[in-house]
Structure 1
Protein backbone atom coordinates (compact mmCIF):
# COMPACT_ATOMS: atom_id res chain seq x y z
CA UNK A 1 0.00 0.00 0.00
CA UNK A 2 3.05 2.26 -0.13
CA UNK A 3 1.89 3.73 -3.45
CA UNK A 4 -1.27 5.14 -1.88
CA UNK A 5 -1.29 8.87 -1.25
CA UNK A 6 -3.19 11.19 1.07
CA UNK A 7 -1.85 14.26 -0.73
CA UNK A 8 -5.34 15.79 -0.95
CA UNK A 9 -5.67 15.74 2.85
CA UNK A 10 -2.17 16.93 3.79
CA UNK A 11 -2.42 19.80 6.26
CA UNK A 12 -6.16 19.28 6.68
CA UNK A 13 -8.01 18.23 9.81
CA UNK A 14 -9.18 14.68 10.50
CA UNK A 15 -11.19 13.73 13.58
CA UNK A 16 -10.58 10.21 14.92
CA UNK A 17 -12.77 8.97 17.78
CA UNK A 18 -11.51 6.30 20.16
CA UNK A 19 -7.97 7.32 19.25
CA UNK A 20 -6.19 6.29 22.45
CA UNK A 21 -5.79 2.57 21.68
CA UNK A 22 -6.26 -0.20 19.14
CA UNK A 23 -7.59 0.69 15.70
CA UNK A 24 -8.08 4.38 16.51
CA UNK A 25 -4.49 4.77 17.68
CA UNK A 26 -3.15 3.04 14.57
CA UNK A 27 -5.33 5.15 12.27
CA UNK A 28 -4.32 8.40 13.98
CA UNK A 29 -0.63 7.50 13.70
CA UNK A 30 -0.80 6.59 10.01
CA UNK A 31 -2.70 9.79 9.18
CA UNK A 32 -0.14 11.91 11.06
CA UNK A 33 2.71 10.17 9.24
CA UNK A 34 0.99 11.13 5.98
CA UNK A 35 0.85 14.82 6.90
CA UNK A 36 -2.70 15.06 8.26
CA UNK A 37 -3.62 17.17 11.31
CA UNK A 38 -5.44 14.72 13.56
CA UNK A 39 -7.84 15.64 16.36
CA UNK A 40 -7.90 12.50 18.47
CA UNK A 41 -10.87 12.00 20.78
CA UNK A 42 -10.86 9.68 23.79
CA UNK A 43 -11.71 9.52 27.45
CA UNK A 44 -8.13 8.48 28.28
CA UNK A 45 -6.58 11.75 27.12
CA UNK A 46 -3.25 11.02 28.83
CA UNK A 47 -2.64 8.20 26.34
CA UNK A 48 -3.36 10.56 23.45
CA UNK A 49 -0.94 13.14 24.83
CA UNK A 50 1.80 10.51 25.16
CA UNK A 51 1.19 9.34 21.60
CA UNK A 52 1.28 12.92 20.35
CA UNK A 53 4.77 13.34 21.85
CA UNK A 54 5.94 10.17 20.09
CA UNK A 55 4.79 11.60 16.74
CA UNK A 56 6.32 15.05 17.21
CA UNK A 57 8.76 14.66 14.30
CA UNK A 58 6.22 13.38 11.76
CA UNK A 59 4.75 15.41 8.88
CA UNK A 60 1.38 15.89 10.54
CA UNK A 61 0.36 16.42 14.15
CA UNK A 62 -1.86 14.72 16.72
CA UNK A 63 -3.93 16.96 19.00
CA UNK A 64 -5.49 15.32 22.05
CA UNK A 65 -9.11 16.03 23.04
CA UNK A 66 -10.78 14.46 26.06
CA UNK A 67 -14.32 13.54 25.12
CA UNK A 68 -16.92 11.19 26.59
CA UNK A 69 -18.98 10.08 23.60
CA UNK A 70 -21.94 9.17 25.80
CA UNK A 71 -22.27 12.88 26.64
CA UNK A 72 -23.99 14.79 23.82
CA UNK A 73 -22.95 18.25 25.02
CA UNK A 74 -19.34 17.15 25.40
CA UNK A 75 -19.28 15.99 21.77
CA UNK A 76 -20.69 19.30 20.54
CA UNK A 77 -18.25 21.32 22.66
CA UNK A 78 -15.30 19.24 21.46
CA UNK A 79 -16.16 19.69 17.78
CA UNK A 80 -16.45 23.44 18.32
CA UNK A 81 -12.99 23.47 19.96
CA UNK A 82 -11.51 21.53 17.05
CA UNK A 83 -12.86 23.83 14.35
CA UNK A 84 -12.04 26.99 16.33
CA UNK A 85 -8.46 25.96 17.15
CA UNK A 86 -7.45 23.95 14.09
CA UNK A 87 -9.83 24.72 11.24
CA UNK A 88 -12.59 22.98 9.30
CA UNK A 89 -12.93 19.19 9.32
CA UNK A 90 -12.12 17.31 6.11
CA UNK A 91 -12.13 13.74 7.45
CA UNK A 92 -14.10 11.97 10.17
CA UNK A 93 -13.19 8.47 11.34
CA UNK A 94 -16.00 7.23 13.59
CA UNK A 95 -13.95 4.50 15.25
CA UNK A 96 -15.01 4.46 18.91
CA UNK A 97 -17.09 1.43 19.83
CA UNK A 98 -18.24 -0.22 23.01
CA UNK A 99 -19.64 -3.54 24.17
CA UNK A 100 -20.52 -4.51 27.74
CA UNK A 101 -21.10 -8.11 28.74
CA UNK A 102 -24.78 -8.83 29.35
CA UNK A 103 -27.69 -10.33 27.42
CA UNK A 104 -31.13 -9.16 26.34
CA UNK A 105 -33.33 -11.81 27.98
CA UNK A 106 -32.89 -10.81 31.62
CA UNK A 107 -30.21 -8.31 30.64
CA UNK A 108 -29.03 -5.21 32.50
CA UNK A 109 -30.67 -2.13 30.93
CA UNK A 110 -28.02 0.16 32.39
CA UNK A 111 -25.37 -1.78 30.47
CA UNK A 112 -27.28 -1.39 27.21
CA UNK A 113 -27.48 2.41 27.38
CA UNK A 114 -23.78 3.36 27.04
CA UNK A 115 -23.40 0.87 24.17
CA UNK A 116 -26.33 2.42 22.30
CA UNK A 117 -25.13 5.95 23.07
CA UNK A 118 -21.54 5.28 21.94
CA UNK A 119 -22.17 3.03 18.95
CA UNK A 120 -25.17 4.80 17.39
CA UNK A 121 -26.05 8.21 18.83
CA UNK A 122 -22.46 9.50 19.09
CA UNK A 123 -21.75 8.37 15.53
CA UNK A 124 -24.77 10.29 14.24
CA UNK A 125 -23.84 13.42 16.21
CA UNK A 126 -20.23 13.32 14.98
CA UNK A 127 -21.45 12.95 11.39
CA UNK A 128 -23.81 15.90 11.80
CA UNK A 129 -21.07 18.15 13.16
CA UNK A 130 -18.44 17.06 10.61
CA UNK A 131 -20.79 17.51 7.64
CA UNK A 132 -21.77 20.96 8.89
CA UNK A 133 -18.09 21.95 8.88
CA UNK A 134 -17.50 20.41 5.43
CA UNK A 135 -20.57 22.16 3.98
CA UNK A 136 -19.67 25.53 5.44
CA UNK A 137 -16.23 25.43 3.79
CA UNK A 138 -17.27 23.55 0.64
CA UNK A 139 -14.80 20.74 1.32
CA UNK A 140 -14.46 17.42 -0.48
CA UNK A 141 -14.72 15.52 2.76
CA UNK A 142 -14.75 11.84 3.70
CA UNK A 143 -16.45 10.03 6.57
CA UNK A 144 -15.51 6.48 7.53
CA UNK A 145 -17.67 4.61 10.02
CA UNK A 146 -15.77 1.72 11.55
CA UNK A 147 -18.50 -0.88 11.51
CA UNK A 148 -18.06 -4.65 12.05
CA UNK A 149 -18.84 -7.93 10.35
CA UNK A 150 -21.36 -8.13 13.20
CA UNK A 151 -23.12 -5.29 11.41
CA UNK A 152 -24.02 -7.70 8.59
CA UNK A 153 -24.41 -11.09 10.31
CA UNK A 154 -25.23 -12.03 13.90
CA UNK A 155 -22.76 -14.60 15.21
CA UNK A 156 -23.42 -16.98 18.12
CA UNK A 157 -21.33 -14.97 20.59
CA UNK A 158 -22.74 -15.14 24.16
CA UNK A 159 -23.56 -11.91 26.02
CA UNK A 160 -23.00 -9.59 23.06
CA UNK A 161 -26.55 -8.31 23.72
CA UNK A 162 -27.21 -5.06 21.80
CA UNK A 163 -23.76 -4.84 20.14
CA UNK A 164 -24.72 -6.58 16.85
CA UNK A 165 -27.88 -4.46 16.69
CA UNK A 166 -25.83 -1.27 17.05
CA UNK A 167 -23.51 -2.34 14.25
CA UNK A 168 -26.45 -3.22 11.98
CA UNK A 169 -27.65 0.30 12.76
CA UNK A 170 -24.31 1.67 11.50
CA UNK A 171 -24.81 -0.17 8.21
CA UNK A 172 -28.19 1.54 7.78
CA UNK A 173 -26.96 4.89 9.13
CA UNK A 174 -24.07 5.01 6.68
CA UNK A 175 -26.33 4.39 3.69
CA UNK A 176 -28.93 6.86 4.99
CA UNK A 177 -26.30 9.60 5.22
CA UNK A 178 -24.94 8.71 1.77
CA UNK A 179 -28.40 9.21 0.31
CA UNK A 180 -28.82 12.51 2.16
CA UNK A 181 -25.45 13.68 0.80
CA UNK A 182 -26.49 12.67 -2.71
CA UNK A 183 -29.76 14.60 -2.44
CA UNK A 184 -27.88 17.75 -1.45
CA UNK A 185 -25.22 17.09 -4.12
CA UNK A 186 -22.42 17.50 -1.60
CA UNK A 187 -18.83 16.50 -2.54
CA UNK A 188 -18.60 14.27 0.54
CA UNK A 189 -17.93 10.54 0.57
CA UNK A 190 -19.00 8.09 3.28
CA UNK A 191 -17.83 4.53 3.86
CA UNK A 192 -18.78 1.66 6.14
CA UNK A 193 -15.60 -0.27 7.03
CA UNK A 194 -16.40 -3.66 8.56
CA UNK A 195 -13.52 -5.61 10.12
CA UNK A 196 -13.74 -9.11 11.47
CA UNK A 197 -11.87 -10.02 14.66
CA UNK A 198 -9.05 -7.57 15.37
CA UNK A 199 -6.50 -8.45 18.06
CA UNK A 200 -6.89 -5.43 20.38
CA UNK A 201 -7.91 -5.04 24.03
CA UNK A 202 -11.56 -4.54 22.98
CA UNK A 203 -12.65 -8.15 23.64
CA UNK A 204 -10.98 -8.36 27.05
CA UNK A 205 -12.49 -5.04 28.17
CA UNK A 206 -15.93 -6.11 26.98
CA UNK A 207 -16.11 -9.80 27.88
CA UNK A 208 -13.21 -10.57 30.21
CA UNK A 209 -9.85 -12.25 29.95
CA UNK A 210 -11.14 -15.83 29.49
CA UNK A 211 -12.91 -15.08 26.19
CA UNK A 212 -10.04 -12.85 25.08
CA UNK A 213 -7.55 -15.70 25.61
CA UNK A 214 -9.80 -18.09 23.68
CA UNK A 215 -9.89 -15.75 20.69
CA UNK A 216 -6.14 -15.19 20.86
CA UNK A 217 -5.70 -18.88 20.00
CA UNK A 218 -6.89 -18.06 16.45
CA UNK A 219 -5.58 -15.63 13.88
CA UNK A 220 -6.77 -12.05 14.05
CA UNK A 221 -6.31 -8.86 12.10
CA UNK A 222 -3.92 -6.27 13.48
CA UNK A 223 -4.82 -2.64 14.09
CA UNK A 224 -2.35 -1.58 11.42
CA UNK A 225 -4.27 -3.71 8.87
CA UNK A 226 -7.35 -1.58 9.46
CA UNK A 227 -5.32 1.64 9.45
CA UNK A 228 -3.89 0.74 6.04
CA UNK A 229 -7.41 -0.03 4.81
CA UNK A 230 -8.47 3.45 5.96
CA UNK A 231 -5.53 4.86 3.99
CA UNK A 232 -6.72 3.01 0.89
CA UNK A 233 -10.29 4.29 1.24
CA UNK A 234 -9.18 7.90 1.73
CA UNK A 235 -6.76 7.73 -1.19
CA UNK A 236 -9.40 6.83 -3.78
CA UNK A 237 -10.08 9.40 -6.54
CA UNK A 238 -12.84 11.96 -6.04
CA UNK A 239 -15.23 10.08 -8.34
CA UNK A 240 -14.85 6.80 -6.40
CA UNK A 241 -16.89 6.18 -3.25
CA UNK A 242 -16.23 2.91 -1.43
CA UNK A 243 -19.66 2.31 0.12
CA UNK A 244 -18.73 -0.81 2.09
CA UNK A 245 -15.45 -2.61 2.67
CA UNK A 246 -15.36 -5.83 4.70
CA UNK A 247 -12.04 -7.21 5.95
CA UNK A 248 -11.29 -10.48 7.72
CA UNK A 249 -8.43 -12.91 8.18
CA UNK A 250 -7.94 -15.32 5.29
CA UNK A 251 -9.41 -18.70 6.19
CA UNK A 252 -11.58 -17.49 9.10
CA UNK A 253 -15.34 -16.95 9.28
CA UNK A 254 -14.98 -13.52 10.88
Structure 2
Protein backbone atom coordinates (compact mmCIF):
# COMPACT_ATOMS: atom_id res chain seq x y z
CA UNK A 1 0.00 0.00 0.00
CA UNK A 2 3.03 2.32 0.05
CA UNK A 3 2.28 3.56 -3.47
CA UNK A 4 -0.99 5.07 -2.18
CA UNK A 5 0.50 7.08 0.69
CA UNK A 6 -0.36 10.75 0.31
CA UNK A 7 -2.94 9.96 -2.40
CA UNK A 8 -6.61 10.96 -2.39
CA UNK A 9 -9.48 8.48 -1.99
CA UNK A 10 -13.25 8.85 -2.02
CA UNK A 11 -15.61 6.39 -0.29
CA UNK A 12 -19.40 6.56 -0.62
CA UNK A 13 -21.63 5.33 2.18
CA UNK A 14 -18.81 5.71 4.69
CA UNK A 15 -20.80 6.56 7.81
CA UNK A 16 -21.23 2.98 8.99
CA UNK A 17 -20.53 -0.70 8.34
CA UNK A 18 -18.31 -1.70 5.43
CA UNK A 19 -17.87 1.89 4.23
CA UNK A 20 -16.71 3.13 7.63
CA UNK A 21 -14.31 0.21 7.95
CA UNK A 22 -12.80 0.83 4.51
CA UNK A 23 -12.54 4.56 5.19
CA UNK A 24 -10.55 3.97 8.37
CA UNK A 25 -8.28 1.38 6.73
CA UNK A 26 -7.42 3.65 3.80
CA UNK A 27 -6.70 6.59 6.08
CA UNK A 28 -4.49 4.42 8.29
CA UNK A 29 -2.65 3.40 5.12
CA UNK A 30 -1.65 7.03 4.67
CA UNK A 31 -4.32 8.28 2.26
CA UNK A 32 -6.48 11.37 2.52
CA UNK A 33 -9.99 9.92 2.45
CA UNK A 34 -13.14 11.88 1.65
CA UNK A 35 -16.05 10.04 3.25
CA UNK A 36 -19.50 10.58 1.77
CA UNK A 37 -22.71 10.01 3.69
CA UNK A 38 -25.87 11.60 4.99
CA UNK A 39 -24.78 11.09 8.62
CA UNK A 40 -21.72 13.30 8.44
CA UNK A 41 -21.25 13.29 12.22
CA UNK A 42 -20.68 9.52 12.16
CA UNK A 43 -17.95 9.97 9.55
CA UNK A 44 -16.32 12.72 11.60
CA UNK A 45 -16.23 10.37 14.60
CA UNK A 46 -14.00 8.01 12.59
CA UNK A 47 -11.12 10.47 12.85
CA UNK A 48 -10.60 9.37 16.47
CA UNK A 49 -9.48 5.96 15.16
CA UNK A 50 -6.88 7.24 12.70
CA UNK A 51 -3.13 6.99 13.37
CA UNK A 52 -2.00 8.33 9.97
CA UNK A 53 -3.60 9.79 6.89
CA UNK A 54 -6.72 11.90 7.10
CA UNK A 55 -10.50 11.64 6.88
CA UNK A 56 -12.63 14.49 5.54
CA UNK A 57 -16.37 14.08 6.03
CA UNK A 58 -18.69 15.41 3.33
CA UNK A 59 -22.45 15.29 3.67
CA UNK A 60 -23.95 13.97 0.46
CA UNK A 61 -27.06 12.15 -0.72
CA UNK A 62 -25.72 10.06 -3.60
CA UNK A 63 -29.16 10.03 -5.25
CA UNK A 64 -28.98 13.83 -5.57
CA UNK A 65 -26.80 14.43 -8.63
CA UNK A 66 -26.39 18.12 -7.79
CA UNK A 67 -24.87 17.24 -4.42
CA UNK A 68 -22.65 14.58 -5.97
CA UNK A 69 -21.31 16.93 -8.64
CA UNK A 70 -20.64 19.58 -5.99
CA UNK A 71 -18.50 17.09 -4.07
CA UNK A 72 -16.47 16.20 -7.16
CA UNK A 73 -16.00 19.89 -7.97
CA UNK A 74 -14.79 20.44 -4.40
CA UNK A 75 -12.29 17.58 -4.77
CA UNK A 76 -11.01 19.00 -8.05
CA UNK A 77 -10.71 22.53 -6.62
CA UNK A 78 -9.05 21.29 -3.41
CA UNK A 79 -6.77 18.49 -4.63
CA UNK A 80 -6.82 18.75 -8.41
CA UNK A 81 -7.36 15.02 -8.85
CA UNK A 82 -8.51 11.73 -7.33
CA UNK A 83 -6.66 8.41 -7.06
CA UNK A 84 -9.07 5.88 -5.54
CA UNK A 85 -12.86 5.64 -5.52
CA UNK A 86 -14.77 3.04 -3.50
CA UNK A 87 -18.42 2.77 -4.51
CA UNK A 88 -19.98 1.38 -1.36
CA UNK A 89 -23.34 3.16 -0.96
CA UNK A 90 -26.24 0.73 -1.13
CA UNK A 91 -29.75 0.04 0.10
CA UNK A 92 -32.05 -2.98 0.42
CA UNK A 93 -35.81 -3.23 0.96
CA UNK A 94 -36.82 -6.32 2.94
CA UNK A 95 -40.15 -7.20 1.39
CA UNK A 96 -41.58 -9.37 -1.34
CA UNK A 97 -41.24 -7.78 -4.75
CA UNK A 98 -44.83 -8.69 -5.53
CA UNK A 99 -46.06 -6.75 -2.48
CA UNK A 100 -43.81 -3.68 -2.71
CA UNK A 101 -44.50 -0.11 -3.72
CA UNK A 102 -43.15 1.25 -6.97
CA UNK A 103 -41.23 3.91 -5.03
CA UNK A 104 -39.24 1.11 -3.34
CA UNK A 105 -38.15 -0.20 -6.74
CA UNK A 106 -37.09 3.27 -7.85
CA UNK A 107 -35.25 4.18 -4.64
CA UNK A 108 -33.27 0.92 -4.71
CA UNK A 109 -32.13 1.47 -8.30
CA UNK A 110 -31.42 5.15 -7.63
CA UNK A 111 -28.93 4.26 -4.88
CA UNK A 112 -27.50 0.96 -6.11
CA UNK A 113 -27.33 1.61 -9.85
CA UNK A 114 -27.84 5.22 -10.97
CA UNK A 115 -25.69 6.80 -8.26
CA UNK A 116 -22.97 4.24 -8.95
CA UNK A 117 -22.93 5.19 -12.63
CA UNK A 118 -22.73 8.90 -11.82
CA UNK A 119 -19.98 8.49 -9.21
CA UNK A 120 -17.90 6.12 -11.35
CA UNK A 121 -18.21 8.47 -14.34
CA UNK A 122 -17.09 11.49 -12.33
CA UNK A 123 -14.33 9.53 -10.59
CA UNK A 124 -12.81 8.46 -13.91
CA UNK A 125 -12.70 12.11 -15.00
CA UNK A 126 -10.82 13.14 -11.86
CA UNK A 127 -8.47 10.16 -11.89
CA UNK A 128 -7.56 10.94 -15.49
CA UNK A 129 -6.82 14.52 -14.42
CA UNK A 130 -4.09 13.07 -12.20
CA UNK A 131 -2.23 11.81 -15.22
CA UNK A 132 -0.80 8.75 -13.45
CA UNK A 133 -2.79 5.80 -12.15
CA UNK A 134 -5.97 5.08 -10.23
CA UNK A 135 -8.23 2.35 -8.94
CA UNK A 136 -12.01 2.05 -8.66
CA UNK A 137 -13.45 -0.46 -6.21
CA UNK A 138 -17.11 -1.45 -6.48
CA UNK A 139 -18.67 -3.11 -3.43
CA UNK A 140 -21.11 -5.49 -5.09
CA UNK A 141 -22.81 -8.62 -3.66
CA UNK A 142 -22.99 -12.35 -4.26
CA UNK A 143 -26.63 -11.57 -5.08
CA UNK A 144 -25.29 -9.84 -8.16
CA UNK A 145 -24.14 -13.25 -9.41
CA UNK A 146 -26.67 -15.77 -8.11
CA UNK A 147 -29.88 -15.80 -6.09
CA UNK A 148 -30.16 -18.57 -3.46
CA UNK A 149 -33.39 -20.41 -2.70
CA UNK A 150 -34.66 -19.40 0.73
CA UNK A 151 -37.91 -20.27 2.53
CA UNK A 152 -38.82 -16.55 2.61
CA UNK A 153 -37.26 -14.74 -0.41
CA UNK A 154 -37.18 -11.19 0.96
CA UNK A 155 -34.65 -9.80 -1.51
CA UNK A 156 -37.04 -7.59 -3.49
CA UNK A 157 -35.23 -5.90 -6.44
CA UNK A 158 -31.88 -5.82 -4.62
CA UNK A 159 -30.42 -8.77 -6.63
CA UNK A 160 -31.60 -7.15 -9.87
CA UNK A 161 -29.80 -3.94 -8.93
CA UNK A 162 -26.63 -5.86 -8.10
CA UNK A 163 -26.79 -7.90 -11.32
CA UNK A 164 -26.95 -4.51 -13.05
CA UNK A 165 -23.90 -3.37 -11.07
CA UNK A 166 -22.03 -6.50 -12.20
CA UNK A 167 -22.78 -5.60 -15.82
CA UNK A 168 -21.81 -1.97 -15.24
CA UNK A 169 -18.39 -2.86 -13.82
CA UNK A 170 -17.67 -5.16 -16.76
CA UNK A 171 -18.79 -2.48 -19.22
CA UNK A 172 -16.70 0.25 -17.59
CA UNK A 173 -13.64 -2.02 -17.42
CA UNK A 174 -13.88 -2.58 -21.19
CA UNK A 175 -14.32 1.15 -21.79
CA UNK A 176 -11.24 1.93 -19.69
CA UNK A 177 -9.23 -0.59 -21.70
CA UNK A 178 -10.51 0.92 -24.96
CA UNK A 179 -9.45 4.39 -23.78
CA UNK A 180 -6.10 2.99 -22.57
CA UNK A 181 -6.75 4.62 -19.20
CA UNK A 182 -4.34 3.65 -16.45
CA UNK A 183 -7.22 2.83 -14.10
CA UNK A 184 -7.97 -0.54 -12.54
CA UNK A 185 -11.50 -1.61 -11.63
CA UNK A 186 -12.28 -4.30 -9.06
CA UNK A 187 -15.71 -5.65 -8.10
CA UNK A 188 -15.90 -7.15 -4.60
CA UNK A 189 -18.96 -9.29 -3.93
CA UNK A 190 -19.44 -10.37 -0.32
CA UNK A 191 -22.12 -12.63 1.03
CA UNK A 192 -24.03 -11.60 4.14
CA UNK A 193 -21.97 -9.19 6.27
CA UNK A 194 -22.66 -8.47 9.92
CA UNK A 195 -23.56 -4.76 9.69
CA UNK A 196 -26.46 -2.38 10.33
CA UNK A 197 -27.57 -3.27 6.80
CA UNK A 198 -29.21 -6.37 8.28
CA UNK A 199 -31.52 -4.28 10.48
CA UNK A 200 -33.78 -4.10 7.43
CA UNK A 201 -34.72 -7.69 8.30
CA UNK A 202 -36.37 -9.33 11.24
CA UNK A 203 -33.71 -10.99 13.40
CA UNK A 204 -35.25 -14.42 12.78
CA UNK A 205 -34.54 -14.10 9.03
CA UNK A 206 -30.77 -13.87 9.59
CA UNK A 207 -30.53 -16.19 12.59
CA UNK A 208 -28.10 -19.02 12.02
CA UNK A 209 -26.90 -17.76 8.66
CA UNK A 210 -23.09 -17.43 8.29
CA UNK A 211 -21.90 -13.84 8.14
CA UNK A 212 -18.70 -12.13 7.12
CA UNK A 213 -17.14 -9.31 9.11
CA UNK A 214 -16.45 -5.84 7.74
CA UNK A 215 -12.74 -6.57 8.15
CA UNK A 216 -13.08 -9.42 5.62
CA UNK A 217 -14.37 -7.06 2.93
CA UNK A 218 -11.81 -4.39 3.78
CA UNK A 219 -9.01 -6.95 3.50
CA UNK A 220 -10.15 -7.71 -0.05
CA UNK A 221 -10.11 -3.99 -0.88
CA UNK A 222 -6.58 -3.57 0.46
CA UNK A 223 -5.42 -6.68 -1.40
CA UNK A 224 -6.76 -5.39 -4.72
CA UNK A 225 -5.16 -1.99 -4.16
CA UNK A 226 -1.82 -3.51 -3.21
CA UNK A 227 -1.33 -5.58 -6.38
CA UNK A 228 1.42 -4.74 -8.85
CA UNK A 229 0.89 -2.42 -11.78
CA UNK A 230 0.56 -5.30 -14.26
CA UNK A 231 -2.04 -7.13 -12.13
CA UNK A 232 -5.75 -6.35 -12.12
CA UNK A 233 -8.06 -8.14 -9.70
CA UNK A 234 -11.31 -8.07 -11.62
CA UNK A 235 -13.65 -9.90 -9.26
CA UNK A 236 -13.52 -11.08 -5.65
CA UNK A 237 -16.37 -13.19 -4.24
CA UNK A 238 -16.42 -13.66 -0.47
CA UNK A 239 -18.48 -16.14 1.52
CA UNK A 240 -18.40 -16.90 5.22
CA UNK A 241 -17.33 -20.39 6.27
CA UNK A 242 -20.20 -21.67 8.49
CA UNK A 243 -18.12 -23.46 11.11
CA UNK A 244 -16.10 -20.29 11.80
CA UNK A 245 -19.11 -17.99 12.24
Fold match, TM over 0.5? Answer: yes
Could you tell me which residue of structure 2 aligns to residue 249 of structure 1?
A: 240
Inter-partner Cα distance in structure 1 for 2:191 and 2:86: 18
Inter-partner Cα distance in structure 2 for 1:192 and 1:49: 27
Report the alpha carbon displacement of residue 137 of structure 1 after superposing the two structures with TM.
Answer: 2.1
Closer/same/farther in 2, CA of residues 104 and 219 from structure 1, 3 Å limit: closer
Report the alpha carbon displacement of residue 251 of structure 1 after superposing the two structures with TM.
Answer: 4.2
- 1:63 corresponds to which of 56, 64, 74: 56
Report the alpha carbon displacement of residue 101 of structure 1 after superposing the two structures with TM.
Answer: 2.5
Report the alpha carbon displacement of residue 159 of structure 1 after superposing the two structures with TM.
Answer: 2.9
Report the alpha carbon displacement of residue 236 of structure 1 after superposing the two structures with TM.
Answer: 0.4
Could you tell me which residue of structure 2 aligns to residue 14 of structure 1?
A: 9
Report the alpha carbon displacement of residue 160 of structure 1 after superposing the two structures with TM.
Answer: 1.6
| Secondary structure of the corresponding residue to residue 89 of structure 1 | coil
| Secondary structure of the corresponding residue to residue 92 of structure 2 | coil
Inter-partner Cα distance in structure 1 for 2:6 and 2:59: 22
Inter-partner Cα distance in structure 1 for 2:75 and 2:2: 21
Inter-partner Cα distance in structure 2 for 1:98 and 1:146: 12
Root-mean-square deviation (CA, aligned residues, Å) is 1.5
Q: Is the 8 A contact 2:141 2:162 kept in 1?
A: yes
Inter-partner Cα distance in structure 1 for 2:136 and 2:227: 13
Closer/same/farther in 2, CA of residues 80 and 86 from structure 1, 3 Å limit: same
Inter-partner Cα distance in structure 2 for 1:123 and 1:75: 11
Residues 133-184 of structure 1, C-alpha deviation per residue, up to 9 Å, x if partnerless? 1112213100010000000001235232110000001110000000000001
Show structure 2 runs of 5+ residues with no match.
none
| Secondary structure of the corresponding residue to residue 105 of structure 1 | helix
Residues 19-55 of structure 1, C-alpha deviation per residue, up to 9 Å, x if partnerless? 0110001101111111011000001101011112442
- 2:137 corresponds to which of 144, 168, 172: 144
Could you tell me which residue of structure 2 aligns to residue 3 of structure 1?
A: none
Equivalent pairs counted in the alignment come to 241
Equivalent residues in 2 for 1:222-233 (5 A)?
Answer: 222-233=213-224
